[in-house]
Amino acid sequence: MSETRRLVRSTVTTAGVRRGLLVGLLLSATPALAANIGFMDESPIAHFSEQDRRIYKEALDDILDKGADGESRTWANPASTAGGTLSIVKSFERDGLACRTLSIANKAKGRSEKGQYRFCRQASGEWKLAN
């Protein structure tokens, strides 16, 4: 593999890990923690209000629980102008768990970001970000 290909693959992998961390923090971290992580300063999530987070989480839970493959949900907070689109790319099973790949695009305060993330439903019924 050429050095250029290795660098591109490394950059793409690093960006994917950062996006995955972003979603994980949104789902499990406090707003103060999310606001203090330096590499997230330019991401939309770092600029979500508490209300943005609540609206986003409701839309995420709804599409994971009820959406069909190919279906999308939008969310928006008119008060902050933050919003985004959540789309189910595919559903699958991994290690006996129901899983889904979502395409997530969010925007807030002039920042936007899009990526694909995998979630699996745990035995508790809660959806968790998966590797």
Query: Closest Cα to residue 64, out of 104, 100, 113?
Result: 100
**86 Cβ neighbours under 8 A, 6+ residues apart:** 59, 60, 63, 72, 73, 74, 75, 102, 103, 104
pLDDT band at 23 (very low <50, low <70, confident <90, very high): low
Q: According to the model, what pLDDT value does residue 4 have?
A: 42
Q: How many C-beta atoms surround the C-beta of residue 52 within 10 A?
A: 26
pLDDT band at 17 (very low <50, low <70, confident <90, very high): very low
Domain range list for the chain = 3-130
- Residues β-bridged to residue 115: 104
Reported as a single tens digit per residue, the pLDDT across 75-85 is 999 999 999 99
The H or E element that residue 112 is part of is: strand 111-121
pLDDT band at 42 (very low <50, low <70, confident <90, very high): confident
Average model confidence (pLDDT) across the chain: 79
Mean pLDDT of 29-50: 63
Residue whose token pair is 């508790």: 124
Residue whose token pair is 């606001």: 35
Q: According to the model, what pLDDT value does residue 103 have?
A: 97
Reported as a single tens digit per residue, the pLDDT across 49-74 is 999 999 999 999 999 999 999 999 99
Q: Is the pTM of this model over 0.75?
A: no
The H or E element that residue 125 is part of is: none
Q: Which two tokens stand for residue 35?
A: 């606001």
